[in-house]
Amino acid sequence: MPSKNAYGADNQQERLDWWIVGFVDGEGTFSISFNRNSTTKFGYQIFPEFVITQGEKSVAVLKTIQKKFKCGKVYINRRKDNHKEDLYRFTVRSQKDLKKIIIPFFAKNKLKTAKAKDFDKFVQVLEMMSSREHLNQIGFAKIKKIAETMNRKQSRILRDYTLDPDRLGKI
C-alpha cells in the first residue's frame, strides 16, 4: 500500500528498509557453513546464518537492525586481528526466524549486488533443509555444491571443514 503520510511512520519505515538493503549489500553475509558434529549422519551439521559485522563504534546500527527484525542476537567478537576496535556480529541462526522474517524481507526488498545470488542460494538451501533433503546423501552433496559456489567467505568456511570421506562416501 502507498504510504498514508510521506513524512510519517510508514515512510520512515520504508527508508530504514532500503537503508538496510544497501547496508546488507555492503556488509551482510548469507552463510552456509558446515560444523563438525559426529552425532549427525554425515559428520557435519549444516549451519545457515545471516550475519552483519561492525566495529564497536557502529554497534548502534546492529541494534537498530535487531529491533527492526525482532530477531537475532548481537555478539561481541574479541578476536582483534588487524582491527583496533572489537567487532560485533548481528546474527540470525534460528531457521524459523530466517524463514519467517529474514528471507521474506529480502525477497520483497531485493539486494542489488552479486550478494543477491548468495541470497537465492541461501533460500534454496533453507528450503531443502525444510523438506529434510539434507538428511540423504544426494541432498547433502547438493547443498555442499551450492555452498561452494557462494562467496569467498562461505567457501573458506566450507574448506576449513572439509568433509570426511569415510562418513560421507563419494559425493
Per CB under 8 A, residues contacting its own copies are: 2-3, 5-7, 14-16, 18-27, 54-55, 57-58, 60-61, 64, 83-84, 112-115, 152
- The set of cell numbers assigned to 80 is 582483534
The answer to whether 16 touches 10, Cβ cutoff 8 Å, is no
Query: What are the DSSP calls for 58-69, one per residue?
Result: GHHHHHHHHHHH
Query: What are the DSSP calls for 2-20, one per residue?
Result: --S-TTSHHHHHHHHHHHH
Q: Which is nearer to its own copies, 145 or 156 (CB)?
A: 156
Q: Whole-number minimum distance, CB 29 to its own copies, in Å?
A: 11
111 closest CA partner among 31, 27, 24, 49: 24
Q: Whole-number minimum distance, CB 105 to its own copies, in Å?
A: 13
Q: Which is nearer to its own copies, 42 or 91 (CB)?
A: 91
Q: Which is nearer to its own copies, 13 or 130 (CB)?
A: 13
Q: Whole-number minimum distance, CB 26 to its own copies, in Å?
A: 2
Q: Which is nearer to its own copies, 31 or 42 (CB)?
A: 31
**Angle between the N-to-C axes of helices 152-160 and 137-148, in degrees from 0 to 180, rounded to the nearest 10:** 130
Strand order in the sheet with 87-92: 28-36, 44-55, 87-92, 73-77
Q: Whole-number minimum distance, CB 74 to its own copies, in Å?
A: 14
